[in-house]
Amino acid sequence: MTRVKHLLLALACGMALVPGVPAMAQQASVAEAEAAYRALAPQEAARAGDPQFDYQLGIAALDAGHYGEAIIALQRVLAVQPANAQARAELARAYALAGDIDTARAQFATVVDDPSLPDPVRQRFTGFVRQFDRQIAGGGSDLSGYLDARAGHDSNINAATDLTQVTIPLFSFLGPGTLGPGARAQEDEFYELTGGLSGVSAISRQDRVFGSVLGSWRDNFDTSAFDTASLTGTAGYAHSFANRDVLSLSAQAQRFWLDDAGYRNSYGAVAQYTRVLDGGRALTLSAQYNRLDFDGQPLLDADRFAVAVGFVTRDISATVQAGKEETTQAAGDAYSNLFANASLGGEWALSPQVAVQGGLAFDLRRYDAADALFLVERADERLDAQVGLKVRLTDALFFQPRATYTRNWSNIALYDYDRFTVSAGVRLEF
């Protein structure tokens, strides 16, 4: 009966290793286990080799987090008592907690083969073996996605100046020129639909392939000239190292539409290295290349190179990026530019049902050649701010009101503008 009791305890403790399975027995607190370990450890030199002592020492070390010492002590038990199923189950737990799931799987499988093992314990240990097999194979596959529908008001749908007249230096002798409606800020109500589907599949324990498709559609109520749509596809490969760091390589393509007509194609590649830190934090370093091809506007076609450093926690993410956008034709040099930007965003829970979302971003651009009309090299700085709420309606459905503000400063009046939006929508995550 004592043996079955020990096995059930090992079973209950082992269940905590499997995601989504609650432990059925509570281990001693870490402080109590540490005290027991400190009381037994000084006796190890004199009593090592005594199976009863080694078992007690192994359990105390295991519960106190001294996994290496626990493994050694429990191995001594099995050296003397190779049929001791409870010691082998605890050894499997120690290997699993230490991160060696291959050996943990082998030890649990050995326990399963013990003919005296009670059926309920055998069934659960068999479940552990399957779980470890899944982890060894890389974790299987996963598919997730979202749909977002919202409506709101935009003070400047075309990101244009509020001015009605602008003096063009090349034609200054003619005096100020009146801007047409498309070159002046226009406000309108809008609705917007966005959605995405992402998938990942393990091809080995450390290697995965992934892909995603993201789409958006925005329709302005009173004018279609600035309606937009986009479709983006990504496919890539990720490798996880023994220290949990991840290297990923991906290819990406995008089609962008303006006023229901094709406007731009973009395609390129991204390489990213992620350094995993404690406490749900990570550092990222990435390099990206994109080719931009504009329909019917060859002077805008460009190659875009960027490098970025990021830092993420459970609540916030921050990124700093810099790069170069170089037009493919010398005649388009006025559109070539150096850029740098920084962004900070986060989500903070106010309650289990409500979270605040917010973000700030700053973008700086310096253009290579003088504008043909304004006779100066364009220089822009842009500030973007966003704040909103995420209200949980169900486990998968959220209500999200949001406000955004953009201010773009430019030495060319035509590109100097501000813009704000307010919107509300629902988001379904699956």
* Residue 406 identity: T
Which residues have C-beta within 8 Å of that of residue 140, sequence separation ≥ 6? 134, 201, 202
| pLDDT for 371 | 92
Residue 165 and residue 414: Cα distance in Å, rounded? 9
| pLDDT for 336 | 97
Own/partner pairs, 215-218, CB within 8 angstroms, 24+ separation:
216/192, 217/192, 217/193, 218/190, 218/191, 218/192, 218/193
Residues in a beta bridge with 305 = 289, 324
Residue 231 and residue 234: Cα distance in Å, rounded? 10
The DSSP code for 26 is P
Express each pLDDT in 347-367 by its tens digit. Answer: 999 999 999 999 999 999 999
Query: What domains are defined for the chain?
Result: 2-136 (1.25.40.10), 141-429 (2.40.160.60)
Residue 336 and residue 326: Cα distance in Å, rounded? 5
Side-chain-side CA neighbours of 287 within 13 Å: the count stands at: 2
Query: pLDDT (tens digit, 0 to 9) for every residue of the chain, 430 residues total?
Result: 444 444 444 444 444 444 333 333 344 477 888 999 999 999 999 999 999 999 999 999 998 989 999 999 999 999 998 878 788 888 888 887 887 777 877 777 776 666 665 666 556 666 666 666 666 666 567 889 999 999 999 999 999 998 877 777 767 667 777 887 778 899 999 999 999 999 988 888 788 899 999 999 999 999 999 999 999 999 999 998 878 899 999 999 999 999 999 999 999 999 999 998 888 889 999 999 999 999 999 999 999 999 999 999 988 999 999 999 999 999 999 999 999 999 999 999 999 999 999 999 999 999 999 998 889 999 999 999 999 999 999 999 999 999 999 999 999 999 999 999 999 999 999 9
DSSP count for the chain of H helices, then E strands: 8, 16
| pLDDT for 96 | 79
| pLDDT for 128 | 65
The DSSP code for 42 is G
Which residues have C-beta within 8 Å of that of residue 108, sequence separation ≥ 6? 14, 89, 92, 125, 128, 129, 132
